[in-house]
Amino acid sequence: MKKLIKPIEPIIGKSLDRVESFIHTHPKVNFLFGAVFGAFDGLLRSAKETTQTQPFIRNNYDVKRFMGAVLVALVIGWVLPALYFFGWQCVVSKLLVSFIIGVFVVDVLWAIIAREDHISEGGFVTCLLIPAILPPQSPIWLVGLGAALAIIFRNVLGGVGNNLVNPALFSRLFLTICFPSLLVTGYQMPFVGMPDLHSFRYGLDAVTHATPLTAFKTNGEVTSYLSLILGTSGGSLGETCRLALILSGLWLIKIRVVNWRIPVSYLGSVLIFSVFLSLIMGKAVAPPLFQILSGGLILGAFYMATDPITTTYNQAAKWIYGAGCGFITVLIRDFTTLPEGVMYSILLMNLLAIPIQSLMVRIKYRA
């Protein structure tokens, strides 16, 4: 790879330098395209700043790599399984719409209007999550709207680093309120297998089917655990194949992008509370293992709740945060008419993260 790119390196480098100096000497061009160029340049070349203060060497690891690792994990965790289970016609179109509207239209427009220095890679993660948390049969425009809302919401609050709540989940909450019918009914059973000529001919309008949690709520039916793990049951586009999600989540924990405390405390508290409730109430509530494996819990615990900006910074407070997420999830699933509570629990705990953080800091330093 290194040898392949060596001859073209000086050519690209020189032309990038030329474009850069052109942009910087023309204020109007800089206003419109400076941000776009900056983002493109940042992908191809390293920064030129050098250290001026102690320490004089820095670790070769930056936010771009951080986000890159999340992107890789998400592709392995839900995009590849979804391609297999729901067909590429369904997944690719949604991803394209989400990325084009979210990153290349809304974020670039925002960068131009708000005079940001550059669009940030965080947008890719958000836009990759948007199709994952919507039903497989949700229309394309809904995905685009969700991506646009998420990016606008994040930017209004001040961009990556200032989010109050997870932007992808906020956008889904908005869509749930505005278009409840689309978000409740658009679930289908996975195809299992690559799409064949049949699906080309007749399209992809499969029959809608209740998600495992809705099925349990309506007639007490417990889906088989094996199909939940492998992803052959219904659900949102990205949440069905728990095996891939868990494996890529563990990889993220290993390279320390995801803090292990949150998935452990989230899943642990769901297990504890659901065991506790099923001991008291018996068959009226969902069995513990079914709770862990169904719905968006795995996706939420490994990818949404762990979004470092919206959680607490203090490590001890992370345990409380995760446990709170688990508690609210079990409460909503067992005692309300809503089948699924992961989205609400993460959003609520995101809001509570700041008070928890300041409380723990006070306990740690002033006790």
Partner 1 sequence: MLREKENIGFKGGLNLLDTYPLRFCNIIERISSDGIPEVFEFRVPDQKIQHVIVNLCPTEPWALPNWVILEHKTAAFLNKLKEIKTRYFPEAKCYIAINKKEDEPNAAVKDYAGDAEWMKVFALAAKYPQDDPVILSKVVLGIETNFGQDAMTQGILILDAQTVSAIYENCMLGNKVNSRFIALSGTGLKENEIINVQLGTSLEKILRNRVKESGKCRVFVNGPLHGREVTDLSQKMGWSINNIVVLEELDQKVMFPMFKSDELVLTTNMLGESRRCVYCNFCDDICPVDLEPALYYHSYKRGEKHKVRLYNLEKCIECGLCSFICPSKLELLQIIKECKALDKQK
118 in helix, strand or coil? coil
User: With binding defined as CB under 8 A, does residue 56 bind partner 1?
Assistant: yes
Exposure string for 82-114, b = 16+ CB within 10 A, e = fewer: bbbbbbeebbeebbebbbebbbeebbbbbbbee
Element (H, E) at 329: helix 315-335
Q: How far apart are the first and last CA of the chain?
A: 56
User: With binding defined as CB under 8 A, does residue 2 bind partner 1?
Assistant: yes
User: With binding defined as CB under 8 A, does residue 48 bind partner 1?
Assistant: yes
d(CA 195, CA 187): 18
User: With binding defined as CB under 8 A, does residue 181 bind partner 1?
Assistant: no
Q: To the nearest 10°, the Cα dihedral for 86, 92, 98, 104?
A: 170
The answer to whether residues 152 and 105 touch, using CB atoms and an 8 Å cutoff, is no
Closest CB to partner 1 among 214 and 310? 310
The answer to whether residues 70 and 252 touch, using CB atoms and an 8 Å cutoff, is yes
Q: Which of residues 119-158 bind partner 1 (CB under 8 A)?
A: 120
Best CA proximity match to 210, nearest among 219, 200, 198, 201: 219
The answer to whether residues 77 and 249 touch, using CB atoms and an 8 Å cutoff, is yes
Closest CB to partner 1 among 25 and 50? 50
Among 62, 88, 254, 281, binds partner 1 (CB under 8 A): 62
User: Phi/psi class of residue 349: alpha, beta or left (left: φ > 0; alpha: ψ in -120 to 50)?
Assistant: alpha
Among 49, 177, 280, 283, binds partner 1 (CB under 8 A): 49
Q: Give the pair of three-digit tokens for residue 106.
A: 């809304």
DSSP 122-135: HHHHHHHHHHHTS-
User: With binding defined as CB under 8 A, does residue 314 bind partner 1?
Assistant: yes
Among 18, 24, 65, 254, binds partner 1 (CB under 8 A): 65
Among 198, 203, 366, 367, binds partner 1 (CB under 8 A): 366
Task: Count interface residues toward partner 1 (CB under 8 A).
Answer: 48
Q: Which among 50-58, 107-115, 180-188, 296-304 is the span making contact with partner 1, rule CB under 8 A?
A: 50-58
User: With binding defined as CB under 8 A, does residue 61 bind partner 1?
Assistant: yes
d(CA 98, CA 111): 18
User: With binding defined as CB under 8 A, does residue 45 bind partner 1?
Assistant: yes
Among 50, 181, 219, 337, binds partner 1 (CB under 8 A): 50
Which 8-state DSSP code applies to residue 302? I
Q: Which among 24-32, 268-276, 285-293, 313-321 is the span making contact with partner 1, rule CB under 8 A?
A: 313-321
Among 313, 336, 351, 354, binds partner 1 (CB under 8 A): 313
Closest CB to partner 1 among 18 and 65? 65
Residue 99 CB, shortest distance to partner 1, in Å, is 21
Residue 51 CB, shortest distance to partner 1, in Å, is 5
Residue 287 CB, shortest distance to partner 1, in Å, is 34
Q: How many other C-beta atoms lie within 10 A of the C-beta of residue 116?
A: 18
The answer to whether residues 84 and 194 touch, using CB atoms and an 8 Å cutoff, is yes
Closest CB to partner 1 among 108 and 244? 108
User: With binding defined as CB under 8 A, does residue 53 bind partner 1?
Assistant: yes
User: With binding defined as CB under 8 A, does residue 40 bind partner 1?
Assistant: no
Nearby residues of 270 by Cβ (< 8 Å), 6 or more positions away: 288, 291, 292, 297, 326, 329, 330
| Interface positions with partner 1 (CB under 8 A) | 1-2, 5, 9, 12-13, 16, 41-42, 44-51, 53-66, 120, 159-162, 256-257, 259, 308-309, 311, 313-315, 361, 365-366
